[in-house]
């Protein structure tokens, strides 16, 4: 699925790498967890969906994942960074290293059906929890393009389980 969609991450230029480092700090994680969604919505409107805030600032590709709210039943769309994994994509519920599990991850646990959209192309997917071995592989791959994932994992520690999902075509 990753190759079919053309989804991958570049190393990034010096500015991208500096933003990635800043976002991985405790303060940066807090700021991004509170403002990135709104900033990303604004960038998407201004560029008519052609660019994203993480793409501009950090050189990371963003996709939209639409889940069904576990309590409301409403469709909810989240802008997420995925890790290309084993021909498909994986999602890491790190929430910038914050204490709470992101709502999209809880929604996928309740209903694994989702819609993935990248560059105007949508796919129906099923999200399955990664096995412990897959989780280790996904974190290792993700740390290759964004070292913040390892820092988030260390920061979360034993406070909560970081959910990792492998996406498969529906």
> Is the pLDDT reported for residue 49 higher than 80?
no
Summarize pLDDT for 99-128 with one digit per residue, the tens. 899 999 999 999 999 999 998 899 999 999
Q: How far is CA 120 from CA 48, 50, 64, 148, 167, in A?
A: 11, 9, 10, 27, 18
Summarize pLDDT for 56-66 with one digit per residue, the tens. 888 899 899 99
Domain CATH code at residue 165: 2.30.110.10
pTM listed for this prediction? 0.89
Write out the residue range of the structural domain in which residue 157 sits.
Answer: 2-169
**Tokens 């052609």, located at residue:** 50
Domain count, the chain: 1
Q: How would residue 36 be classed by pLDDT, with cut points 50, 70 and 90?
A: confident
Strands (E), 55-112: 63-68, 75-80, 82-85, 88-92
């Amino acid at each position: 699925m990753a190759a079919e969609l053309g989804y991958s991450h570049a190393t990034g230029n010096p500015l991208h790498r500096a933003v990635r480092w800043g976002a991985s700090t405790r303060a940066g994680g807090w700021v991004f967890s509170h403002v990135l969604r709104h900033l990303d919505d604004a960038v998407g409107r201004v560029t008519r969906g052609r660019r994203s805030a993480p793409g501009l600032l950090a050189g990371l590709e963003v996709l939209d994942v639409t889940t069904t709210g576990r309590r409301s039943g409403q469709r909810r769309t989240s802008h997420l960074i995925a890790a290309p994994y084993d021909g498909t994509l994986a999602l890491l519920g790190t929430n910038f290293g914050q204490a709470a599990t992101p709502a999209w991850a809880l929604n996928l646990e309740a209903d694994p059906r989702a819609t993935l959209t990248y560059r105007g192309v949508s796919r129906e997917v099923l999200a399955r929890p990664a096995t412990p071995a897959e989780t280790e592989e996904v974190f290792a791959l993700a740390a290759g393009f964004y070292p913040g994932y390892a820092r988030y994992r260390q920061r979360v520690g034993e406070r909560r389980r970081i959910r990792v999902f492998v996406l498969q075509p529906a």
